[in-house]
Amino acid sequence: MTPLAEIMHTLGQGSSQPLYQRLQRALRTAIDQRVFGPDEALPAERQLAADLSISRITVRKAIDGLVDEGLLVRRPGSGNFINTRIEKNFAKLTSFSEDMRARGRTPRSVWLKRSEGTVTPEEALRLRLGPGAAVYRFHRIRYADEIPMCIEYATIVATCLPSLESVQVSMYEALEHAYNRPVRALQRLSALLLDEEQAALLQAKPGDAGLAVERLGFLRDGRAVEFCRSYFRGDLYDFVAELNAA
């Protein structure tokens, strides 16, 4: 039995999920456990179907879904490969941790600073707060599978979290537990060249391409809850958006 078949057998015990979804879970787990390495080709679909004793139609459906998620990339004439680049759907309001876990990656953070204070003039303007309003600030490097992906500088309205320590891995999970997770956001994306400090934190070179993302998150009642600036490595991260004709 191949390692992937063993994983699929273990995950499938007592599962009522459709077969293609079980294969997707098995493939995510196999990638997370390094059964398949970064940028490595998966076995051919015919071989996977034979190894797992399932139809090629099921294999194709599972792989199509993982290609749509960005976990796999299909290269015509070469096969299906583990995608080393992250594609973030710019139209979906999800957290970094959620994005990484959905792609079989392990998210973690290295804290640069956690503090509480009062709003700066810019924060007051963006978050629509009065002078002296209390906020929490979270500055950290975000990692996926031990690779630094971005530097994040987030300011959260203090009344929306129980404490500074409530944010551990995911800020959005902490906000959700406090019933204050943003439901919509305004985001702005711009290109930049990493400066020396940013490059050092992201294990890149000064002058390498980067992406700056500014996000302002709102609650359902229209109150602003989050003002965040993030700086991503341009060689590892892509932002994509689906466009529809009016």
Which CATH code fits 3-82? Answer: 1.10.10.10
Give the contacts of 169 (CB within 8 A, at least 6 positions apart).
97, 107, 108, 109
Give pLDDT tens digits for 136-165: 999 999 998 788 999 999 999 999 999 999
Give pLDDT tens digits for 38-56: 667 888 899 999 988 999 9
Superfamily of chain region 86-240: Chorismate lyase-like (3.40.1410.10)
Locate the domains of the chain by residue range. Answer: 3-82, 86-240
Q: Report the pLDDT value the prediction gives residue 39, as an integer from 0 to 100.
A: 61
**CA–CA dist 27, 7 (Å, integer):** 8
Q: Which of 168, 186, 185 is nearest to 177 (CA)?
A: 168
Q: Report the pLDDT value the prediction gives residue 84, as an integer from 0 to 100.
A: 67
Q: Report the pLDDT value the prediction gives residue 71, as an integer from 0 to 100.
A: 77
Each residue of 60-74: b (16+ CB within 10 Å) or e?
ebbbebbeebbbbbe
Point out the residues of the chain with pLDDT beneath 70. 32, 37-39, 84-85, 87, 104, 242-244, 246
CB 164, CB 136: distance < 8 Å? yes
Q: Report the pLDDT value the prediction gives residue 215, as an integer from 0 to 100.
A: 95
